[in-house]
């Protein structure tokens, strides 16, 4: 009779013991993965309702996605820093013409000036060159044609607002819009910046690319802004999740493999 309880326990054993977890492990390299960066990653994943396991140290982040999880969505969420900046345009410098080159770099050419072409340089290199030349930095704005960009010069000291919420808003027949809300201190700073820039241009910069460059007609109260771009509804929803989570370090995927016991 004593064998029956043991047999019943075996038949109704814990599923975790009978079927150990398997999944996909993603290892990202980054610099300075501190608590703030980890929390931003966690917020992004939680907003997208993705259940994962996170492990981090000073220069790497490991994400384990259980079997059946959306690995592609995890990669999409984490591989865009989504650093939003609000900048005053530095108008004393001429606007440069920009073009994306085949290796993914940027070529800048000022009209009538030599030595301003950075063939094959990435945006960080171009920005460093601009900073060395004066109190500004180069940000790119999409122009005419699929491969054409133009540069704008942003005054140093851009505002990096803390975003507490971001929601995609779709208007039938219109472009996808993302409505963002800032925390109270950022909202106060945003109002002060727009008050300073009345009848001047505000650069709304996402990861060193200008999304919008509107002329401020009056101070903006309430700590809210709307971002528009050439996004699909799916892209707008993804970017909203990234913005709401806060910026993360630049993450480079180094390895993707499976974890857990092998299948029999």
CB 21 within 8 A of CB 260: yes
Residue 110 maps to a domain: yes
- Number of compact structural domains in the chain: 3
Please state the rounded mean pLDDT for residues 243-247: 87
**CATH value at residue 36:** 3.30.70.100
Residues 221 and 238 in one domain: yes
H or E, element range at 260: none
**Which 3 state secondary structure label does DSSP give 5?**
helix
Token pair recorded at residue 187: 């909202």
Report pLDDT for 150. Answer: 58
**E strands within the chain?**
23-29, 53-57, 60-66, 84-88, 96-100, 106-109, 136-142, 148-155, 163-169, 177-182, 202-206, 209-212, 224-228, 252-259
Residues 106 and 174 in one domain: no
Residue 115 maps to a domain: yes
Among residues 119, 134, 155, which one ends one of the domains?
155
Residue with the bigger pLDDT between 200 and 109: it is 200
2, pLDDT greater than 80: no
Among residues 108, 132, 155, which one ends one of the domains?
155
Please state the rounded mean pLDDT for residues 199-211: 86
Residues 139 and 180 in one domain: no
Q: What percent of the chain has pLDDT over 70?
A: 68
Of the chain, the end-to-end C-alpha distance in Å amounts to 33
- To the nearest whole number, what is the mean pLDDT of the chain? 76
Whether this prediction's pTM lies above 0.85 is answered by: no
User: If you count them, how many residues does the chain have?
Assistant: 264
**CATH value at residue 173:** 3.30.1360.200
Q: How confident is the model at residue 95 (pLDDT cuts 50, 70, 90)?
A: very low
7, pLDDT greater than 90: no
In the block, tokens 């929601």 appear at 167
Residue 2 maps to a domain: no
Residue 255 maps to a domain: yes
11, pLDDT greater than 60: no
* Domain membership of residue 71 as a residue range: 19-81+249-259
């Amino acid at each position: 009779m004593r064998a029956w309880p043991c047999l019943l326990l075996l038949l109704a054993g814990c599923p975790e013991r009978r079927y150990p977890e398997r999944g996909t492990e993603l290892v990202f390299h980054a610099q300075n993965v501190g608590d703030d960066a980890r929390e931003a990653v966690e917020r992004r994943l939680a907003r997208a309702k993705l259940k994962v396991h996170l492990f981090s140290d000073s220069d790497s982040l490991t994400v384990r996605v259980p079997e059946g999880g959306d690995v592609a969505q995890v990669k999409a969420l984490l591989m865009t820093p989504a650093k939003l900046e609000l900048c005053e345009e530095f108008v004393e410098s001429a606007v440069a013409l920009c073009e994306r080159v085949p290796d993914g770099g940027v070529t800048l050419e000022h009209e009538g000036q030599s030595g301003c072409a950075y063939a094959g340089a990435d945006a960080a290199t171009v920005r460093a060159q601009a900073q060395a030349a004066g109190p500004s930095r180069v940000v790119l704005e999409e122009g005419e044609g699929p491969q054409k960009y133009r540069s704008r010069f942003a005054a140093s000291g851009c505002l990096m607002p803390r975003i507490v919420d971001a929601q995609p808003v779709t208007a039938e027949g219109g472009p996808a819009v993302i409505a963002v809300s800032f925390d109270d201190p950022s909202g106060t700073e945003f109002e002060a910046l727009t008050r300073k820039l009345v009848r001047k241009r505000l650069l709304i910069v996402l990861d060193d690319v200008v999304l919008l460059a509107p002329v401020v007609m009056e101070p903006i109260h309430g700590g809210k802004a709307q971002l528009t771009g050439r996004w699909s509804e799916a892209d707008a929803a993804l970017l909203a999740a990234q913005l709401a989570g806060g910026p993360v370090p630049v993450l480079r995927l180094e390895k993707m493999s499976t974890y857990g016991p092998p299948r029999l």
